[in-house]
Structure 1
Amino acid sequence: MSKVKISTKLTFSWLRETYEKHQLTPEEVIEEIIKRSKQDEDMNIWITPPNMEHIKPYLERLSEIDFDSFPLWGIPFAIKDNIDLANVPTTAGCAEFSYIPTEHSTVVERLIEAGAIPVGKTNLDQFATGLVGTRSPYGETHNSLRPELISGGSSSGSAVSVARGQAAFALGTDTAGSGRVPAALNDLVGLKPSLGAWPTKGVVPACASLDCVTVFSHQLEDAYQVDAVARGLDQNDPWSRDLPVPLAKLPKKICLPKDSISFYGPYANEYQNAWNQTVEQLKKLPVSIEYIDYEFFREAAAILYDGPFVAERWAELGGFITNHPDVAFPVTEKVLRSGALPKYDAASVFHSLHKLQEFKRKTQILLKDAVLVTPTAGGTWTRDQVREDPVKTNSDMGLYTNHCNLLDLSAVAVQAGEADENLPFGITFFALTHEEGLIAGAAEAFVTKSKPKQRTIEIAVCGLHMRGFPLEKQMLQFGASFVREEVTAEKYQFIKLPTEPEKPGLIKKKTGGNTIELEIWDMPLSSLGEFAALIPAPLGIGKVELQDGTEVSGFICEGYAAEEAEDISGAGSWRRIPLNI
């Protein structure tokens, strides 16, 4: 039984904090993940779901490596099932295609080496061909917030696994937007590094020249922690490039489309309103805004599926499709077979490459020291609507994503509020390959600026959570800030609990008692429940009476604890107690 309630939003800082204080073990986290995956079984998140048999060797390794030296120690992650995890089937969403790799993909190997725990293989649009999350014989992956809506694809299961608390981060892939669209639809961050920044060795190709491995997480800083581990040249990967870890900095300008943005689907109006509000938020950043002609980005995007690049998918998978008729998901096979059409001849390839080179040069000039911002998606659809028109709905989802890899851009998708109740709205920052730090800096500034002002509550602390003590960092982690020093009413007994580490207890008396010095901190109300869940008995949060007769919420102690504790009331402050901590 774990000592704290395991959060449904698994962030790196929260996990490492609870591990470090021995309030939680990685085994307990994995047990909870397995439980959650079974509860969500009908959401079709997994192809190889979390199970202790596969995970146990990675848990056992943690005892052999140093917590402080391995940045992802004990962090659970999910893997899209077109990325190899040794000794676990890779299906790419097609059982007949399945094989069992003998080694990890390069990115998975690097993450495991850093201490991360792979928990399972996630569902996807078959052969990573789709942006909707419904093109899988393993079932349609449900949206994490509204099950009637699409989850986004092709990295559908990866995004939903994070959103549903079954992984702290997840690997996806991105050729046309699959690492960004599911982030937007499931209230997540989706980071797509530059082409080649993360090796693709051990990844089933969709379009090998455009494929990227990506990451989903709840927080921007978590995505970049993964990036720091996964990034780097792999000499055995012909597509790999030696690109440095980006250093976040603000761009000189933000580029926005000057022509009207198109929205679609049943929530088109809500998305339009959310975009308008987002533009106003962007204008508040300390960066100039420039409106640009967006048309050539649209032309570039059209080349991905309305041009010869679809033939690259056929080059990778045509042999399998030809030798296994009627095995592939119907709409997926239709898309793949279109790559064999006679119109996609060698001349059409070079015509598109020359056109793209023109677009790339325009992009390099336009986005020098700048970022482009668009909606991540212009809307969403119900799963029923996608089934009725699988091609048009899927095409719409790529309206603001398809151009990215063709133009050799980096991108990060972040949340920008809600379009409607339980309907998140997201935007994407784009930058040139060698200026990835600009999207990191711009996204960080936007996320910080756009956070709504939080309701707070005053919390009185009298021990290890005070300034200068070991648990001050926990107050900061939960967004609290120091307000003032205070003194209790002359009604309290102060005890030193026989715990490890030593900590105080504050007990209100009917008669007698002392005044005790304490600190008042301001904590976001939204953090209070999770913070209180970390507090071990006999301590808890209750009302503390101050010297002026007012009451504030704060740490109190149950009376029975005084029987085996040292009375330190005479000291009047935890700061006056010599401690062994």
Structure 2
Amino acid sequence: MTTDVVTSTATATDRARRALSRIEEVDRPEVWITLRDATDILADAAAVDARVAAGETLPLAGFVVAVKDNVDVAGLPTTAGCPEFAYTHQTTASGVSRLIDAGAVVLGKTNLDQFATGLVGTRSPYGAVRCAWDPARISGGSSSGSAAAVGLGIADIGIGTDTAGSGRVPAALHGIVGIKATLGVIPTHGVVPACVDYDCLTVLAESLDLATKAAAVMAAPDERDPRSRTWPTDVRLAAPAQIRLAVPRPEDLTALCAEYRDAFDATVDEARRSGIEITEVDISPLLDAATLLYDGALVAERYAAVGTFLDTERAGADPTVAAIVASAQKPAAHELVTDLDSLVHTRAYARAVLEGFDGLLLPTTTEHPTIAAVQADPVEINRRMGTYTNFCNLLDMAAVAVPGVPTPEGHPFGVMAVVPAFDDQVAVDIAARLTGVEAPRFVDSGVELAVFGAHLLGQPLHFQLEDLGARFSEQVYTSDAYRLMALNTTPPKPGLVRHRPGEGASIVGELFRVSEAGLGRFLAALPAPMTLTSVELADGRWVVGFGCTQDASADGADITEFGGWVEYLRMA
């Protein structure tokens, strides 16, 4: 198995100098709308190095960031891809501010499909953004500049937005990772709205580990964003060992070009070979819902965002974007109510069709067109490219986009792990399995639970932890104050009993993280004679762990000499 764990041995100044050198080397001015002065970038990098030298722990120390220019960065203009719209805030968007606090250094603001309206990256008066690996092809939008900055090896992290797929489509076209969290998990404070109820801040990076690390830093509620959300108390913290994925039926894949269809089939076959269970399901209602974002009354949100501004016929307005926003003025209120009701029914269908599955595996987009092709047909190609992404936010789902098996021609091809709201960690774990890397932790929540017997990995009751979405953390040992008893139970299990320090032995166990509500359900269903109590670990930590009643321990056999339950079973 390969790994893609984030390491940052270079200093922040080293990384900043390398990024500035790469900007000169690739000569892609269309990637940027505002590039910060090199002196300011290096000063920020030096400040990060000073913080590290002073002993601060900065999870993103020195990583350089490209920010989509519909996201505020203090002191830099925000244009949203339209020169006349530009304004300069003295407050940075909360998600980006958290990256900076974690040690990241902002390079500048990147080009985009104007007002984040598009999936192609050509709808900008600042120029069409070219694909990093083939300048004749589109970068993909609307987060085109941020994706290209990562794909070109300039930025470690690209910040985009995603309403209809704008943080996932360009990731797929560049062969990188795109994380679109559950709506509101990463606040949209400081983001120019496109469709305010369905907008997300997204992260692009070359590795799943770095993308997840950045997303985790950005994720937390912000009172300045009334739509921001926190992880629920029953959040799932891991995918199960045996992953089950739903995939579309062949008739739901007709939008794919031939080479992408071959690549998707190969990716599904590779997933099967890795041990993932695959089942075809009918996703046509989800695809029907996807059309509502532009072809239904929901598009009215785009007019609410910038319609009044574009009504003034600004010279810098992209004609395709202006036409889309102008048309968004037409739907009647009753049509919007009808479409919202339709989404309620489709959300219910999505829950039902994915019952028993850990996620839905989809192609990210349908094709990788040339810039010339998009300029000749600016609407239909764009519409087609959102076939599998448009419904995600409408149905309150999360997605992680990763590279799949390349096309027969060797070009990048992307797939998405799509999951219900707040199953973001499950999506990350699925993405890790698909790409053969160690699964990084996204969700920072839950309670530590130590187990010592039948709930250990590979033991008969471990499924109960998997059902709760518990996440394995590490192997642990108790202090020397514990004795282990083999209890008279079915199935057989041990009981951990605390004595005075030195009167027992260090007993091996495993530490898991489980949600607060999951731990409550676990405790409520715990059969006698088992108990949950505080357990002292060898390193001095106290965690929730298993114990047993005094009468059960008195009737059990002392197996402390074996040092743990698995060793006892092996020797018995």
Shorter-chain TM-score above 0.5: yes
Which residue of the partner structure matches residue 283 of structure 1? 272
Which residue of the partner structure matches residue 13 of structure 1? 6
Say which SS state the counterpart of residue 214 (structure 1) adopts.
Answer: strand
Map Cα deviations across residues 251-281 of structure 1 (whole Å, 9 max, x no partner).
752001123244568xx22112111111111
Map Cα deviations across residues 81-114 of structure 1 (whole Å, 9 max, x no partner).
0001100111100111000111100001111111
Choose which of 33, 53, 56 in structure 2 pairs with 1:47.
33
Alignment of 1:408-423 (within 5 A): 408-421=396-409, 423=411
Residue 26 (1) aligns with residue 12 (2):
yes
In 1, the alpha carbon distance for the partners of 2:424 and 2:293 equals 23
Residue 337 (1) aligns with residue 336 (2):
no
Letter in 2 for 1:410: A
Letter in 1 for 2:273: K
Which residue of the partner structure matches residue 58 of structure 1? 44
Which residue of the partner structure matches residue 351 of structure 1? 338
Deviation, 1:37, is 1.5
Relative distance call for 1:141 and 1:420 in structure 2 (3 A) is farther
Map Cα deviations across residues 418-476 of structure 1 (whole Å, 9 max, x no partner).
214452011001001132222111111111189xxxxxxxxxxxxxxxxxxxxxxxxxx
In 1, the alpha carbon distance for the partners of 2:21 and 2:173 equals 24
Deviation, 1:174, is 0.1
Map Cα deviations across residues 184-209 of structure 1 (whole Å, 9 max, x no partner).
00010000000000000000000010
Which residue of the partner structure matches residue 162 of structure 1? 150
Deviation, 1:403, is 0.5
Which residue of the partner structure matches residue 306 of structure 1? 295
In 2, the alpha carbon distance for the partners of 1:167 and 1:42 equals 13
In 2, the alpha carbon distance for the partners of 1:152 and 1:246 equals 32
Letter in 2 for 1:256: V
Map Cα deviations across residues 211-243 of structure 1 (whole Å, 9 max, x no partner).
000000111111110121100111121110012
Q: Is the 8 A contact 1:149 1:380 kept in 2?
A: yes
Letter in 1 for 2:296: G
Q: Is the 8 A contact 1:132 1:394 kept in 2?
A: yes
Map Cα deviations across residues 374-415 of structure 1 (whole Å, 9 max, x no partner).
100111211101000100010011011001000000000000
Which residue of the partner structure matches residue 550 of structure 2? none
Relative distance call for 1:420 and 1:122 in structure 2 (3 A) is farther
Q: Is the 8 A contact 1:259 1:293 kept in 2?
A: no
Choose which of 96, 101, 106 in structure 2 pairs with 1:108.
96
Relative distance call for 1:264 and 1:352 in structure 2 (3 A) is closer
Could you tell me which runs of 5 or more consecutive residues in structure 1 were left unpaired when the two chains were aligned: 1-10, 20-24, 451-581
In 1, the alpha carbon distance for the partners of 2:174 and 2:49 equals 34
Letter in 2 for 1:253: R
Say which SS state the counterpart of residue 360 (structure 1) adopts.
Answer: helix
Aligned residues: 429
Which residue of the partner structure matches residue 463 of structure 2? none
Relative distance call for 1:70 and 1:449 in structure 2 (3 A) is closer
Which residue of the partner structure matches residue 213 of structure 1? 201
In 1, the alpha carbon distance for the partners of 2:236 and 2:59 equals 18
In 2, the alpha carbon distance for the partners of 1:99 and 1:140 equals 22
Which deviates further from its counterpart, 358-367 or 86-95? 358-367
Q: Is the 8 A contact 2:266 2:405 kept in 1?
A: no
Deviation, 1:332, is 0.8
In 1, the alpha carbon distance for the partners of 2:388 and 2:179 equals 15
Q: Is the 8 A contact 2:239 2:358 kept in 1?
A: no
Letter in 2 for 1:13: V
Choose which of 427, 435, 447 in structure 1 pairs with 2:415.
427
Say which SS state the counterpart of residue 222 (structure 1) adopts.
Answer: helix
Task: State percent identity of aligned pairs.
Answer: 38
Which residue of the partner structure matches residue 394 of structure 1? 382
In 2, the alpha carbon distance for the partners of 1:69 and 1:31 equals 22
Say which SS state the counterpart of residue 87 (structure 2) adopts.
Answer: coil
Map Cα deviations across residues 18-54 of structure 1 (whole Å, 9 max, x no partner).
x3xxxxx322322221222133334611111243233
Q: Is the 8 A contact 1:12 1:168 kept in 2?
A: no
Relative distance call for 1:54 and 1:98 in structure 2 (3 A) is farther
Could you tell me which runs of 5 or more consecutive residues in structure 2 were left unpaired when the two chains were aligned: 439-572
Q: Is the 8 A contact 1:82 1:91 kept in 2?
A: yes
Choose which of 240, 247, 263 in structure 1 pairs with 2:237.
247
Deviation, 1:311, is 0.8
Residue 405 (1) aligns with residue 393 (2):
yes
Which residue of the partner structure matches residue 311 of structure 2? 322
Which residue of the partner structure matches residue 569 of structure 2? none
